[in-house]
Amino acid sequence: MTNTDITFPEGFLWGAATAAYQIEGAAHEDGRQDSIWDVFSREPGAVADAHNGDIACDHYHRSADDVALMKQLNLQAYRFSTSWARCMPDGVTPNIEGIEFYSRLVDQLVAAGIKPWLTLYHWDLPQALEEQGGWANRDTAYRFAEYAAVLHEALGDRVRIWTTLNEPWCSAFLGYAAGIHAPGRQDPRAALAAAHHLLLGHGLAAQELRRRDPAAQLGLTLNLTVPDPVDPDSDADVDAARRIDGQFNRIFLDPVFRGQYPQDVLDDVRHLGLEDFIHDGDLAVISEPLDLLGVNYYHGEAVTTSVDPASDDGGHAPQGRPVASPYVAADGVRSAPRGLPVTGMGWEVQPDGLRRLLVRIHEEYTGPAGIPVYVTENGAAYDDVPDGSGFVDDQDRLAYFDSHLRAVRAAIDDGADVRGYLAWSFLDNFEWAWGYHQRFGLVRVDYDTQQRTPKASALWYARAAAANALRTPGPVHQVGPGPAEAVTGPGDTVLATSR
């Protein structure tokens, strides 16, 4: 870690994030029916070791204890997602028992003084809607707006921050083009239809929420990358970076903030017919003004057309089924390693990419729109090794958070209006196609016993949140009697704090 104290602006928001399918479990309780991830995880080879989210972290039954632990860790905000398959199992009919779970969760958060930050969609489309075409079907966008209305009717009196979609790039291109994520399709044209209909659904939901509650804070969360050409003097590599930027970042940013798709992206994908899905008035809906943008960042990438394909595994899970490229019009473009440290996922650790990204987004998109940015996900998976008590001295993750928070502060110093940071993730959880093989949590979950144990990074993060600052620390570690105290958390959670 850097041994320099830094302080964040007054009011900077510290929190953590999760997603419904990754933590809740209770897959078929209280009226919940299959989402596309329930079905996809049962397909041979789709998820490492055939793991699934049937139990996950059992948060559905442990939410009160989990919220109490959040409070002990000084979290000011908790970004969670509601499961469409739990709230409206067939995609259209409200399920009161499922919705009441989130009402209880919101009440628990409010009582603990933690700001509820609700994400309507984090990839768990009801399977019933996928069987009608999923996001490749325009009708799904209208069903999504109806879902937003149902959730606001139930929770809008207490939830003040609403995110429509989480990472629509993953939903559209990993799900419909690459087959890496649910629903596991490999159809580039369907992926472009899904991308447009996700954006349309976002706009329709934002309009519905705005109509119901003009004072609500409305946002969209995008995962964004920083593509650099491996050889800046190579026209092919420069064009590769342009294509990735277009098909990862600008295909979502430009419609939302400028009311139009980038012309170069339209040209790149013309043979796949993106424009066939764009109806009159769509872009006006999609560009409904927002109150904030959520940015998820994990790593940038150096791209080229000349790297040996065998040297680029893309950080993908060891799935036992063939997958394709998510970049529907970037044939031959691959990432090349740069000799940077990597996480357990094989992702490069590049904190300055976050600084560059936040400054760019502010200068080109959110600044002209007059809205702030929040880092709504940032974190790292590592091969955690617990001691006999389950404690993880995860100095690598701690250093990751430290370096990226310093990058956020540097972006603020460079003029970016960044108002908060939500660590991914509060808990170890089901990591999509990786199953339970990758751990991102501040808090370790023993999946056999469901015991929660805050890691060294959690204790460090709690101290940073309390101080609104990164201090030059002594070591953060689990301790016994003497120079520190052990605090027993709720249920079977064990919390240790350094003095």
Distance CA 90, CA 145 (A): 15
Give Cα 440 to chain centroid, integer Å. Answer: 12
Q: Is the dihedral of CA 99, 100, 106, 110 positive or negative?
A: positive
CA atoms within 13 A of residue 4's CA, in its CB half-sphere: 8
The total number of residues written for the chain in this structure: 499
Tell me the β-bridge partners of 95.
Answer: none
Catalytic: 10? no
- The active-site residue out of 130, 208, 348, 377 is 377
- Nearest CA to 166 out of 85, 252, 235 is that of 252
- Nearest CA to 421 out of 77, 26, 97 is that of 77
CA atoms within 13 A of residue 459's CA, in its CB half-sphere: 26
Q: In what order do the strands lie in the sheet with 301-304?
A: 227-229, 301-304, 334-336
Neighbours of 277 (CB within 10 A): 17
| Residue written as token pair 């043979």 | 271
Catalytic: 377? yes
Amino acid at 339: G
Distance CA 462, CA 296 (A): 21
Distance CA 447, CA 119 (A): 25
Give Cα 460 to chain centroid, integer Å. Answer: 22
Q: Report how many helices (DSSP H) and strands (DSSP E) the chain contains, helices first.
A: 17, 17
Determine contact, residues 161/118, Cβ cutoff 8 Å: yes
Determine contact, residues 144/129, Cβ cutoff 8 Å: no
Determine contact, residues 57/93, Cβ cutoff 8 Å: no
Determine contact, residues 293/218, Cβ cutoff 8 Å: no
Amino acid at 319: Q
First-to-last alpha carbon distance for the chain, in angstroms, is 19
- The active-site residue out of 167, 208, 288, 348 is 167
Neighbours of 480 (CB within 10 A): 10
Verify cis geometry, omega within 30 degrees of 0, for the bond prior to 183.
yes
Active site residues: 167, 377
